[in-house]
Amino acid sequence: MTENMKNKKTAARLMSRPFVDLSVRGSAVRLYLEHEDCREFTCLIDRIDDDGGHVVELKRERNIHFLICDIAMAVRSDKGLYDILMSSNEETIGDNPLYEYAVSQGDVMLARRLRLYYRIATDEECGWLSEKLGYRILPSLPAEYDNDYYVDSEGIDYELLLNSGYRILHTPYFSMKGSTHSVWTLNPHAKTGVDAAKCGSDTITFSEYMSFFESSSDRSLITQNMSSEHSVCDKI
């Protein structure tokens, strides 16, 4: 079977599923989506472009960030919807059409994965995801940790940070005057970071950064392999 035939078959399968209505300014925009435990996404965006032409886009993404970017770009003419898709919070998550779709379909994995991406997942939700996905997910620490910590880049577990929902910004080399990539800036409360820091910043090791979480060991979700007694409800 040729790649084109495979894509047509995939598109037909997707379009037999319920869709996410992303219509903006009178133009119909429909999203059809499937995923495998939020590890790999296949989506079809059916829309009218700026010139009035009918566009059907089939995309495959291995990262929820790129999936959301694909969807947001399809509705960029509606700034309000674009902003909600790119940066939902507790107040706006209910207006996020992708989250609404997950809830309406009873898709607990997608709903909680979205809450993790937007950095609003509860401890229980992080623990549930850790158990289901089989890898460690760091919690968002209390407000007392809402500070920038300068961490030596050597030894940083980048995959752990991404899996935990951290949003790490890249600083290009042309913007590096007075800064260094050998130190990163991390905030364990906001789950944000920058892959650079000002030269001369007082630094800690990544092991010391991780000790913040170990000192909160009573928070059950930091263990990598959750036991069944810590399982949480498979409902949204």
Compute CA distances 192 → 38, 53, 185, 195, 227, whole Å: 21, 39, 8, 10, 29
Range of the domain at 161: 141-215
Confidence of residue 86 (pLDDT cuts 50, 70, 90): very high
Same domain, 170 and 107: no
Same domain, 108 and 155: no
Same domain, 74 and 151: no
Is 100 a domain residue? yes
What local confidence, expressed as pLDDT, does residue 216 receive?
Answer: 60
Name the token pair of 168: 């790490």
> Residues 179, 198: contact at Cβ < 8 Å?
yes
Considering the chain, what percentage of its residues have pLDDT values greater than 90? 61
**Average pLDDT estimate for 64-88:** 92
Q: Domain boundary residue among 89, 120, 151?
A: 120
Same domain, 11 and 73: yes
Same domain, 12 and 111: yes
Q: What is the 3-state secondary structure (H, E, C) of 20-75?
A: EECCECCECEEEEEEECCCCCEEEEEEEECCCCCEEEEEEEECCHHHHHHHHHHHC
| 62-66, 81-85, 227-231: least confident range | 227-231
Same domain, 115 and 146: no
Residue 50 has pLDDT above 80, yes or no: no
What local confidence, expressed as pLDDT, does residue 221 receive?
Answer: 43
Confidence of residue 123 (pLDDT cuts 50, 70, 90): confident
Cα 139 from Cα 89, distance rounded (Å):
16
Is 210 a domain residue? yes
**What's the structural domain count of the chain?**
2
Is 224 a domain residue? no
pLDDT digits (tens, 9 = 90+) for 147-198: 999 999 999 999 999 889 898 999 888 878 889 999 999 999 999 999 999 9
Sign of CA dihedral 26, 32, 38, 39: negative
Same domain, 109 and 149: no
Same domain, 160 and 83: no
The residues, ordered by sequence, that sit 6+ positions from 69 with a Cβ below 8 Å of its Cβ are 86
Cα 35 from Cα 108, distance rounded (Å):
12
Same domain, 105 and 210: no
Instruction: Report if pTM > 0.85.
Output: no
What local confidence, expressed as pLDDT, does residue 222 receive?
Answer: 43
What local confidence, expressed as pLDDT, does residue 185 receive?
Answer: 97
Q: Domain boundary residue among 88, 120, 152?
A: 120
Cα 92 from Cα 121, distance rounded (Å):
14
pLDDT digits (tens, 9 = 90+) for 185-230: 999 999 999 999 999 999 999 999 999 998 765 444 444 444 334 4
Same domain, 49 and 153: no
Is 134 a domain residue? no
Same domain, 86 and 17: yes
Same domain, 104 and 188: no
Q: Domain boundary residue among 62, 90, 120?
A: 120
Average pLDDT, the chain: 87
